[in-house]
Amino acid sequence: MRRFRPPHPHVNQRIERPVTAPILSPELPDRIAPARARITAAWLRDETEAVLDLLDQAGLPDGEREQVVDRAAALVTRVRERAKDQSVVESFMRQYDLSSEEGVLLMCVAEALLRIPDTRTADMLIRDKLGDANWRKHLGRSESLLVNASTWGLLLTGRLVNLAESTRDDFTGALRRLVARIGEPTIRVAVRQAMRIMGHQFVMGRTIEEALDRSVKKENAAYRYSFDMLGEAALTAADAERYQQAYRDAIGALGRRGPFANHTDAPSISVKLSALFPRYEVAQRERARLSLTEKLLELAQLSMKAGIALSVDAEEADRLELSLDIIGDVFAHPSLAGWNGLGIVVQAYAKRTPLVIDWLVEMALMHDRRWYVRLVKGAYWDAEIKKAQEQGLSGYPVYTRKPNTDVSYLACARRLFAAGSHLIYPQFATHNAHTIAAVHHIAQGRPFGFQRLHGMGTDLYAEVIGPKQFDVPCRVYAPVGSHEDLLPYLVRRLLENGANTSFVNRVVDEATPARELVADPCETVRAFDSIPHPRIPLPANLYGELRKNSMGVNFANDNELSALAEAVNTHPGPWTAGPLCPERPARAPWSMSPTRPTAASAWAAT
Ligand SMILES: Cc1cc2nc3c(=O)[nH]c(=O)nc-3n(C[C@H](O)[C@H](O)[C@H](O)COP(=O)(O)OP(=O)(O)OC[C@H]3O[C@@H](n4cnc5c(N)ncnc54)[C@H](O)[C@@H]3O)c2cc1C
């Protein structure tokens, strides 16, 4: 009998081999395999259970907790002093963040204009879209983010856009009046100019040479740098090759500025796997793993030769395990013997992260190599929540309350230090004063580095890196590229700056007392009635009393795929399919042979 086999979700295909166990990395040695399997099992772990575990690991004794809060509050006070003479761009961004209607207008138009190569078409677009009297009827139906301006605002800020009452009622009218008053060419030029200004805020240079030159000027020289070539989500093989070449060139340029005493002091490179392969997705696991391992290995070998470190950025949750397999293959590669420069980014908002750290430790022990690990909180929170709801999963891969993520960050920091600096050199990427003070306290003099993003956290780190201050080195993540490639990165930064839960957003609000801003997250979480966010129901309960959300299969999780395969393979048939809505029984279910299961029939059988 022909059998259904995961992990390929092409369930319509006839496949010869039956499945008995998860396929992922079957070649893993005994020592690594259990650590790897624990990561898969923890995907949608119960949030309360996970956070209670972390609380025990993250908490500090009373006296020490107060000490950390005092130090963090002092940082906030000094940052607020400095913020009084912030740059024009910073004031502009704070004045017109994406919760303002001007900010949203700007991004809508910018998003569209960046795609249009000639000025005539750009002007036509402005006239057509901004002046479209029927704009409203397209809302929610069009692919264009410009048309879906409200959705765009929600996406960008993580909350509903606070448009003025009059504009909210007549958004189209407001856009039309704007165009009529100042004309399309003016809007086009102004938007491109604004993008350039924002680009300058967040991008270190248009080319790697320009970025390197800027990195040694004036106060920039106090930092180390990790350069990132802007661009992600390559859509074609040509895109991917262009990004690969950009990374090759950048590594070459960094190497020419050497020799460097060691990787920790040298500039480094940060790489996004999504930029290097157009089908970086679980459905294409074998192709993606093969191609990306080869590409990443080439960049790692070049970095080794250049005497610098290379770090792989963390992206979406459904790519995590595939990324670990690729990075793990490269880490273990014999051609990199003697090089301790491979780095990986882990996200504290993800429930699997403590287990990822355990896996990293096992890998380091087994191959007798060291990792650079950058701990971040995670930049894709809104998307992760939305995706899990859309797919009707049984839980979320990320925490639903920000203090839960903060607790996880501190627990993960402890885990990284506990591994020892011969296995892991930890780097803490944060713009949050409490997180900085707490990590510094947890370190107890052990070696580590802080990291910040170019264009963010400048005032804060000016108070951290000096010898009379925390005296810990800081590396700046410095994007390089043109403003055309900036948008996805810019959106994440504007989200971060605009979100009202975000430290960088709250620190400039003098109305929030410093000590409240830097409250100990463990104490905050302990005081919660409910550890998961009470207003973010599990994906299955999204529609409350109305109905259950439709169930989905998480194709990126081997355990779920195996369960699905098991159900399909053991079902004797016949297969029937029909609507599963309550009170609407299928009137005429259709049947089929068990030898050719489809996604719909397989699911109905489970
Ligand atoms: C050098 C550097 C490199 C980076 N590289 C990466 C990378 O490779 N991949 C990546 O994903 N990010 C990356 N980031 C971005 C990073 O994730 C964000 O900058 C970071 O989350 C902000 O954390 P914070 O401590 O500065 O701010 P805080 O304001 O303390 O924390 C904000 C974070 O809390 C989390 N959060 C917010 N609301 C909730 C909620 N309701 N429930 C649960 N959690 C919530 C989110 O992660 C959010 O970003 C990088 C950042 C830096 C500085």
Task: Report whether pLDDT(368) > 50.
Answer: yes
- In sequence order, which residues have a C-beta less than 8 Å from that of residue 511 and are 6 or more positions away? none
**254, pLDDT greater than 60:** yes
Cα–Cα nearest to 397, from 355, 433, 427:
355
Select from 204, 311, 377, 396 the residue to mutate for testing ligand 1; criterion: most ligand atoms less than 8 Å from CB. Answer: 377
Indicate the pLDDT class of residue 600, thresholds 50, 70 and 90.
very low
Average pLDDT over residues 436-455: 96
- Specify the ligand 1 atom closest to the Cα of 533: 41
Please give the share of the chain, as a percent, with pLDDT higher than 90: 54
Q: Which of 202, 205, 291, 307 has its CA nearest to residue 244?
A: 291
Ligand 1 centroid from CA 432, angstroms: 10
Residues within 6 Å of ligand 1 by CB:
313-314, 345, 347, 349, 374, 376-381, 398-402, 404-405, 429-432, 435, 451-453, 477, 496, 501-503
**How confident is the model at residue 149, as a pLDDT?**
40
Other C-beta atoms lying within 10 Å of the C-beta of residue 548: 14
Q: pLDDT tens, 129-179?
A: 554 433 343 334 433 333 334 333 333 333 333 444 455 455 556 556 655
CB of 267 closer than 8 Å to CB of 204: no
Tokens of 456: 């963010």
What interhelical angle do 149-157 and 487-498 show, nearest 10?
A: 70
Q: Which ligand 1 atom is nearest residue 506's CA?
A: 29
Least confident among 2-6, 41-45, 443-447:
2-6
Cα–Cα distance for residue pair 242/478, rounded to 1 Å: 19
pLDDT given for residue 573 in this prediction? 80
Burial 121-151, CB ≥16 within 10 A → b, else e: ebbebbeebbbbeebeeeeeeeebebbbbbe
| 258-293 confidence digits (pLDDT tens) | 999 999 999 999 999 999 999 999 889 999 999 999
**Beta pairing partners, 347:** 376
Lowest mean pLDDT among 51-60, 225-234, 405-414: 225-234
Nearest CA, atom 34, ligand 1:
402
Ligand 1 centroid to 412 CA: how many Å?
14
Atom of ligand 1 nearest to the CA of 398: 43
447 contacts: CB under 8 Å, gap ≥ 6: 421, 425
Quote the mean pLDDT of the chain: 81
State in Å: Cα 51 to ligand 1 middle.
Answer: 18
Q: What integer is the mean pLDDT of 3-7? A: 49
Distance CA 455, CA 247 (A): 22
Model confidence pLDDT, tens digit, residues 27-62: 556 778 999 999 999 988 999 999 999 998 998 999
E strand or H helix that includes residue 476: strand 474-480
Residue 576 parent element (H or E): strand 575-577
Measured on CA atoms in the order 215, 216, 218, 222, is the torsion positive or negative? positive
**Span of 105-109, 479-483, 500-504 with lowest mean pLDDT:** 105-109
Predicted local distance difference test score (pLDDT) of residue 200 = 74
243 is written with which tokens?
A: 């990004």
Please determine, for residue 418, whether its predicted confidence score (pLDDT) is greater than 70. yes
Q: pLDDT at residue 494 above 60?
A: yes
Region 343-351 average pLDDT: 98
Please write the tens of the pLDDT for every residue from 319-335. 999 999 999 999 999 99
Q: How far is CA 172 from CA 155, 160, 344, in A?
A: 19, 18, 46
**pLDDT digits 0-9 by tens, 545-564:** 988 898 888 888 889 888 88
In angstroms, the CA 603 to CA 601 distance is 5
Ligand 1 mean position to 429 CA, how many Å?
8
Tokens encoding 590: 């259709």
Q: Give the whole-angstrom CA distance, residue 399 versus residue 528.
A: 14
Q: What does the pLDDT average to over 586-592?
A: 53
| Among the ranges given (78-92, 278-292, 402-416), the one the predictor scored with the smallest mean pLDDT | 78-92
Note the pTM of the prediction, 2 decimals: 0.83
Return the pLDDT at 492: 72
In the chain, the amino acid numbered 426 is P
In ligand 1, the atom with minimum distance to the C-alpha of 476 is 1
Of residues 422 and 495, more confidence is placed in 422
- Rounded Cα distance, 561 and 23, in Å: 10
What are the φ and ψ backbone dihedral angles of 428, each rounded to 5 degrees?
-115, 110
Q: For residues 474 and 496, which has the higher predicted lDDT (pLDDT)?
A: 474
**Which pLDDT score, from 0 to 100, does residue 10 have?**
36
Closest by CA to 65, choosing from 408, 515, 462, 532, is 515
End-to-end CA distance of the chain: 19
Of the listed ranges 89-93, 309-313, 470-474, 535-539, the least confidently predicted one is 89-93
The atom number, within ligand 1, closest to the CA of 492 reads 15
Which residue is listed with tokens 């992600």? 232
Residue 96: per-residue pLDDT: 46
Lowest mean pLDDT among 23-37, 367-381, 499-513, 523-537: 23-37
Please return the burial class of 530, using the count of CB atoms within 10 Å of its CB with bins 0-12, 13-18 and 19+.
exposed
Secondary structure string (H, E, C) spanning 309-332: CEEECCCCHHHHHHHHHHHHHHHC
Higher pLDDT, 497 or 247: 247
Q: How far is Cα 599 from Cα 591, in angstroms, rounded to an integer?
A: 14
For 39, 137, 317, 371, 384, the CA distances from 350, given in Å and listed in that order, are: 11, 38, 8, 20, 10
Identify the weakest region by mean pLDDT among 84-98, 482-496, 562-576: 84-98
Give the closest residue to 580 by CA, choosing from 596, 601, 557, 554.
601
Classify 75 as helix, strand or coil. helix
**From ligand 1's centre to the CA of 375, what distance in Å?**
9
Query: According to the model, what pLDDT value does residue 104 have?
Result: 59
- In the predicted structure, residue 488 carries a pLDDT above the cut 60: yes
Give the closest residue to 50 by CA, choosing from 514, 570, 398: 398
Res 245: pLDDT: 96
Q: Which atom of ligand 1 is least distant from the CA of 272?
A: 8
Percent of the chain with pLDDT over 70: 70
Can you say how many angstroms the Cα of residue 110 is from the centroid of all Cα atoms in its chain? 23
> Per-residue DSSP letters for 105-136?
HHHHHHHHHTT--SHHHHHHHIIIIIT-TTHH
Helices 353-367 and 402-419, axial angle in degrees (round to 10): 20
Task: Give distance in angstroms: CA of 428 to centre of ligand 1.
Answer: 11
Q: State the residue for tokens 């005994």.
A: 30
